[in-house]
Structure 1
Amino acid sequence: MESRSNQQIAETRAHIKALTTEGESEVTAVRIARDQQENERRISQEVSRQARRRKLLYEAEGSARQNAVVAMKWSSLVDKEVAQELKAEIEAQREACDGIIEVKDSLLAEFRLELKQRDEEYVKALKKQAEDVDDLLEQMGRQLASLRQMHEEEVDEVETSFMQERHERMQAHEAEVQALMSRRREREESYLEARKHRIEEDQRRLEAARVQAAEDYSVLKIKLETEIQTLEKQLEEMRATYQLNQEKLDYNYRVLVERDTENTTTIKHQKRKLTRMADVLSALRAKHAREEKRYKQENAELTEDYKRVTEQFKDLQAKFQHFEESDTRRYRDVWQMNEEIVTGLMRKVLQADKIIHEQQLGLHWFPPSEQLFVAGRGDGGSTHPASSADSAAVSSRGSVDNDGVQRMLGLLCDEAGFLVEQKVLKLLEPLPVEEQNLLKIDSILKVLGVQGAADLQKLLSFFVADAESGELIHPNDAMKAIKAFIEEHQRGTRDSLGQSSRSLASTQGAQGPRGEEREFWERMSSVISGKTYRVWGALERALQRYHTLLTSRSGVIDEVRDLQQQNDELKALLNQYLSSKINEDLHVPPTHTIRLDGSSFHGG
């Protein structure tokens, strides 16, 4: 049967635990509410930031289009000869510029209004946090007073029960009662000390949260002020540009008036010069007839030499294609084997990530798309080497399977024909049109420094306007693309000019599948995101702390078990001494002494 004191202790612990749990739930509710408000605030800020970014992008695009329209109209003003029309066009340009400035001013005013609203929201948030802190401190004070009062009441109840039990059991358990009381006081002190530490830790966290909120506000305010300053600076630059353009127009108008007078005089001189040049033309025509006859004979001889060299080059190209296909096939076999090994390892990693999310974190795990493991394989890489070989041989055969490359080469032949020397063009006149285009393309590629399939694909990337549809750029932009390719090609590493055809073919074969390999490793590296790595690290640290706590608890449990065992042994030994028959032969048995000590204690 359980003693009265143990029952009272159990009831006291239950009351204290219930009161402590209630207090902790109230504090936790306040913290959860603040976390929810903070989360909502951050979501709202992110939405606002995305909206501002979209507005800036839309304004930048609209401003760019309007600036382009204004810039295009400047060139048409030069052709205006009537002063009234020129003035009307200039006024229209000025109105368009004013419209652009007005849009930027409205966007600037909107951002300033939003900044002011953010300041007001921050002040309200500070007031709300101060109120929550005051409420939390008040609740903690009430809970602490209630807990202290309950402790005192429960201590009195326990002491009363121990006194009654001590009277009922006489003096047999005097030492045990004193030990229990001492241990209880120590536990109460340790509990109060731990409670004090928790209160101090909560206060420190609240102060840290307040400081962090102030720092976030300062950073946001500085960022918005910087954006405003940038927009104001851009506005001043645009105004200066418009002023400069207006001055240029005035100057150009005066220059045109002066040039009109000069052109009248120049026309008279040119008419006299034209008469003299007619005589020179007659002499040059006669000389041209003599030179043309001589060059036709020389062209026939060079044509025969060219046909012979072309046949030799075709034979050499066929041999090169055979060896390239063989080497590429062996390379793809080895690559496919290594790809299967890496894919298997990544699947094991995903299985471990699934176990961590579902068993350790208790979260839903969403597997990545299977396209990560199958994208880019195709039919084993047989198509890629063939297209690379065709692209490498385009300068000799004049045909290619890739429709985009064929269209690009046709555009080069039409727009970059000036890169072919005049001497070569004269030699090509007796040949058919297809062979003429083939030799023109070969000469143009040599001038641009295109030496293999990789360079050809690189050149194609500068001529593609839309990667999805494969549409090429406008012919008017061909020169810009050629200049950009030459600048990029000169910065990169390229093969030496004296490298042999076989060395060049080997280099082209090795560069073919590099894009596929890079794409495969990029896919494999993106299977596990950086956020998942951070979750793994946080979980590992939490489990290590949890393991340390369990180890500490295990040691405390063993210590309590040893103390209970010693207490039971002491009780059994005391009962054995008190119930021994030898006590009957003594003049003063130990039981009388214990009873006497107990009476004196109660009487005192």
Structure 2
Amino acid sequence: NMLYQPEDDQNTGPSVDSVDPEERIKARRERIKKRIEQVKREALGEDAVVEKEVSSDIGKGKEQVELSRTRLEKLRNDGLELVTNVAMAGDAREMQHRIQEAEFKHTRVEKLEAEAKTSSEKFDDISRRWSATQMKEIPHDLHEMLVEQTQACDTVIDEKNNLINQLQMSLHVKDDEYVKDLKKQSEDVDLMIERMEEQVKNLTKSYRDELIQIENSFMEERGMVLKNNRSKWDGTMTQRREREEEYLKMRFKRVEDHEAQLDSLRTHDTEEYNMVKIKLETDVQILEQQLQQMKATYQLNQEKLEYNFQVLKKRDEENTITKSQQKRKITRLQDTLNSFRLKLAKQEKHYKEENQSLVDEYKRIADQYKELHKKMKHFSATDWKKFESIWKMNEEEVKDLVKQVLKADQTIHEQQLGLQWHQPNVYVVSLQLTGPLETQEQDPRPSAHSYAKEIVTAAANLGSDADESKVKITPESNLSLGLVKQLLEVLCDEGGFLMEEKLNKLLQPLQSEERSLIRLDAIFKALNIETEDDVNKLSNY
């Protein structure tokens, strides 16, 4: 069935091949309805009207195609109906068989239930009798009871066997019916295949006939189109020939006009050519004269250039010789320069080593000087203390002697001479002297160098965390340690011009504090700054 159904019928709507019986019934009803509508349309002649309307718009070939399509569609539907009738008959038989089978099944179930009920009643009766046999004591009665029980059991077994035989007979009947159904189904399949093959043959023949008719229609239509096109072509060619004749006449006329114009142009161009020829000949003569002059000038310039070339060639040779000499000289000077560089490197190395040794020697001598200066100060202070103590001791003795002399002088004046005694000034001076006279004349203020050294040392010992601007040099002074230190740093940085360059070179290996102190000492000497007061006075500015 699937081979002959249209694609639209296969994909949409209910199908006669469905498993659901309701869907199959619905599909058959729709198919019958479509057939009835098709028959009505054919009876009323609607198809002919539609074909006439369509044929007015399309060609004869397409009209034949539509007509053939309609015929083939009808033939295919008829074949499909013929083939599906077999399936419908089989479905009807299957439906009837299922109804009968349902009735047989219902009857069989009722019979089995009745038999089971009867058997259970008989079995209960037999079971009750077994309890009664236990009450009997006479063997004869017991034997009769057993015989009756045996007969009752045989009766139940016979009924069961009869039921089994009936069911087996029904099973054999069903087997026979199944074989018959298979045979009938095989016959239906063969009939369906036969009808399908016949339908295929009919469709093939119909398709071939319709194809021939369509081809004939297209050939007739082609002949008509060729005839119409040929008539149009003949008319077009006639118009073309007429236009070509008109164009040829116009061309001949234009040729005559052009020939007349060419004659007039030839005459005019001949006259103009003669005039131009005369003018050009005159110009050629002038140019030949100029050419002769240019040749003479060229010859003269060529001789000059050759002479200049010879001169330049000689100069080039001289320059080549000079260049080679200069190269040799450069090579010689380069060797000399390399030797001087080696000597310079050796001397620099020697001077660096000598400078390093001198720096080490200077440091050693400076350390010795500091140590010696420290010892000298120590011994000087010790000697001065001893001298001062001896001086004071002698001064006391002198004071006692002076007192005795003055007392004796007073006694002589008052007692011996009877004069009024006046105390001399030397007595006051002698009583006021305490210690050596040199100590009174010595300047107690420290020198500028020692003052600067104290400032630098104090700033270094104070540390970086302390505020130098708040630390006073002395309780009586208004100058802060930071101010004086800043002054000394400015003098060291900006007063380099007051020192000799040789001193600056010698100070490079020293430490920063020692270098600063030596620079300050040299600057103080240049500025004539000797005491602490001079430094403080400079700080105020």
TM-score, scaled to structure 2: 0.32
Q: Which is greater in Rg?
A: 2
TM-score, scaled to structure 1: 0.29
